[in-house]
Structure 1
């Protein structure tokens, strides 16, 4: 196995010596630089597998070095060493393209883990795209091409990523792809729906507990952070976390340590955090429902999951893929999609996005008499076919808008929802299916439109 080379950039001789000794014991060759100018010279003269740089240098900043490496050596991972009190600058370094950061005073165990992850990334090179038949992020539209390019870049970093978008747009698939293409792909990917955990159990679920720490704790139990150690923890619907849990989550992310319920000592964890929500997290912060400091920590890099109505050209490919998956699950040959059915799908607004498309196709495949799906087999929601928009969250604010058109659209939505509820005898789950929206979206609209 070839020897790996690391460039250390720090103006403090003691720090450089400590890093040289630590990395030398890991079997790594090191070269050092005391300032930005010397570092760029070293990079021009030699080849490296990793760069460790301090944020503050005598003739510039570590962020300038990150920028230089991004331009001149894009495949070289660079990690930033930051002093306490400069976390905002460290986050800026992550946004600039740094792989990760480690705080002073140096935690050598944390440093070794960081170096190991970075060298795995350097050794692997740019991760290859999986074959299309295994690729969950399907689509040739500009929006999806941009998503795939961005995901490939984000996979090379350890920066927290906040994915936002409507329900059913595939936010978890995007998060899983970031994990699968990165150096943590051999470690666990642990998804958690923050809105599905009862508030009284959240601390135990996230951080674990010790036997006897509370009534019913009959044995030690690891939490989600421990389950994801070395890998990725995906916080879906993170906006649903109660404020008390947000404080504890912020500390765990900042300190990279957790304290199980009933424990007296904190446990170090090495977890990359990805988060998502269909809500407007900035609006949640403005409404004092989400902590601003946690928002800034999670939203180091923001990624928008495009709604299906913005990439209708992808519908033929997605529909074919979904019909193949449905057929494989049922042990049958895939059904064909007639032109009239495909055109109807491309006219549909898809408030439930890709998830709704899958539900429509599965229902059609179940009820279809032949081997080809036509428009009549799709049973598209009457409200959408009639032109009553139910998709956009912007329209759900129409009840408080100034425009007469807004009020008219809100009244149409209200009437469509009432008809669906009456038709299903006020079974909200069935009404949501009839309208082609998720149960969560229906509940949101009931509250927004004042329907009891």
Structure 2
């Protein structure tokens, strides 16, 4: 393959102070047909960036005259369009997360796997083409950026499914638009029924991976003994019943997005394996002699308070920080009641289209009836109510069941439901009081003995020292 790139080829800047590595990266990218410029430190890099526009910038984290993160922040402040890939030391998870939070498109760990290197650079270039000004259009940069930034039909359709223009929903849509452009893992938090999967699909559709697969999995629905095969795949004969090779979720999502719904229900043993797959970007199918490089973007969702789950010791802290690089909080319906008319119109149109009924009128009486409901089940509960109202109605009139005054959505497991809420409240108050149990107990109207009992029963992890007031009250 020729090492000569055409003038129309994407332009890439490589920043690394090690000449051998810099040459290796240059040759690898030249063989792919890119135009490549190189710099050995931040000073040279700034000069190159002042002189040229690039499609992608690849920078080592540690350079002789500073950190690659400094350059990322400068480029973000200048609103430059280049996608940035950061190379960080092996196992330095904190650096990788910090780089993604600073605006990096993606990261690589040393020693760099060249196959993964080519894949990440290709994704960055594709992202630049879809969402930023390509370097070869410098003369018409504003016009090019404007047209490139226009969302695709698929992205518009996905965003339109997020019904509502309340401040809370506008914030969610804005967050999606900002987060879609990078490879940073995203954690979607929200109560059951708020539409977390719709947010995940909108993120996928708005990203440069929108034409790739979107693979969704409910982590709570997979039996524990099948989790590893389901996630990473298996070779024929790897276990009883494996009569043929089986692709895992990571392989199925190649080039696209892997959506891990209800991530909080993943057992601890599987959390460890998932963390390694995310960090190393490789998975080993059961029975396979070697690992496969995977190219997926991870989007997770949960209705649980993962910070409280971490304190309780049931969710790994390192995995939590790895998944929660960018957080999107989906508001409950009770916090955006102004969206209720638009949601009702959209849901009724869908329901009546599927059932062949005429769309009924949303009268003031109907809206008053719906507006009085607590909607503990959020949008999913609203859809169920409207389904029943259409089915039981006469003509164009909707018929609503009247809920009891003390109506509360019934949880599947009452003790788990109560424990989850108690754990969340205790964890929050403990954090607010600096883990001073005496102060936390007073704030909650409990005795020291009572709060200690609850901390122990709920397995809440607290810093390994007693507060002085606690020690004084041990013999009270």
Common fold: TM-score over 0.5: yes
Deviations along 1:228-266, one digit per CA (max 9) or x if unpaired, are: 111111111111111111111111112111111122221
How do residues 104-119 of structure 1 correspond to structure 2 at under 5 angstroms? 104-119=110-125
Q: Which runs of 5+ in 2 are unaligned?
A: 1-5, 132-148, 412-416, 427-440, 447-457, 459-476
Tell me the CA shift for residue 209 of structure 1. 1.4
How do residues 50-89 of structure 1 correspond to structure 2 at under 5 angstroms? 50-89=56-95
Tell me the CA shift for residue 368 of structure 1. 0.7
Query: What is the aligned-residue RMSD (CA, Å)?
Result: 2.7
How do residues 119-158 of structure 1 correspond to structure 2 at under 5 angstroms? 119-125=125-131, 126=149, 128=151, 130-131=155-156, 135-158=160-183
CA contact (8 A) 1:338 1:372 kept: no
- Say which of 258, 262, 268 aligns to 1:243: 268
- Is 1:254 the counterpart of 2:279? The answer is yes
- Is 1:318 the counterpart of 2:352? The answer is no
Decide whether aligned partners of structure 1 residues 132 and 268 sit closer, same or farther in structure 2, where only a CA change above 3 A counts.
closer
| Aligned-partner SS, 1:325 | helix
* Aligned mates of 2:445, 2:421 — CA distance in 1: 9
CA contact (8 A) 2:85 2:108 kept: yes
CA contact (8 A) 1:127 1:181 kept: no
- Say which of 44, 55, 76 aligns to 1:49: 55
Partner residue in 1 for 2:414: none
Tell me the CA shift for residue 390 of structure 1. 8.3
How do residues 312-391 of structure 1 correspond to structure 2 at under 5 angstroms? 312-373=337-398, 377-383=399-405
CA contact (8 A) 1:160 1:298 kept: yes
Tell me the CA shift for residue 86 of structure 1. 2.4
Decide whether aligned partners of structure 1 residues 239 and 131 sit closer, same or farther in structure 2, where only a CA change above 3 A counts.
closer
- Say which of 237, 240, 253 aligns to 1:228: 253
Deviations along 1:394-449, one digit per CA (max 9) or x if unpaired, are: 99549x9999x999xxxxxxxxxxxxxxxxxxxxxxxxxxxxxxxxxxxxxxxx9x
CA contact (8 A) 1:3 1:29 kept: yes
Decide whether aligned partners of structure 1 residues 91 and 216 sit closer, same or farther in structure 2, where only a CA change above 3 A counts.
same
Q: Which runs of 5+ in 1 are unaligned?
A: 408-447
Decide whether aligned partners of structure 1 residues 12 and 117 sit closer, same or farther in structure 2, where only a CA change above 3 A counts.
same
Of stretches 347-356 and 357-366 in structure 1, the one that deviates more from structure 2 is 347-356
- Across the two proteins, how many residue pairs are aligned to each other? 401
* Aligned mates of 2:82, 2:275 — CA distance in 1: 30
* Aligned mates of 2:346, 2:89 — CA distance in 1: 49
How do residues 249-288 of structure 1 correspond to structure 2 at under 5 angstroms? 249-288=274-313
Decide whether aligned partners of structure 1 residues 189 and 304 sit closer, same or farther in structure 2, where only a CA change above 3 A counts.
same
Decide whether aligned partners of structure 1 residues 389 and 365 sit closer, same or farther in structure 2, where only a CA change above 3 A counts.
closer
Tell me the CA shift for residue 155 of structure 1. 0.7
- Is 1:93 the counterpart of 2:99? The answer is yes
Scaled by the length of structure 1, what TM-score is found?
A: 0.83
Deviations along 1:177-196, one digit per CA (max 9) or x if unpaired, are: 11111111111111100001
- Say which of 8, 15, 23 aligns to 1:17: 23
Scaled by the length of structure 2, what TM-score is found?
A: 0.79
| Aligned-partner SS, 2:279 | helix
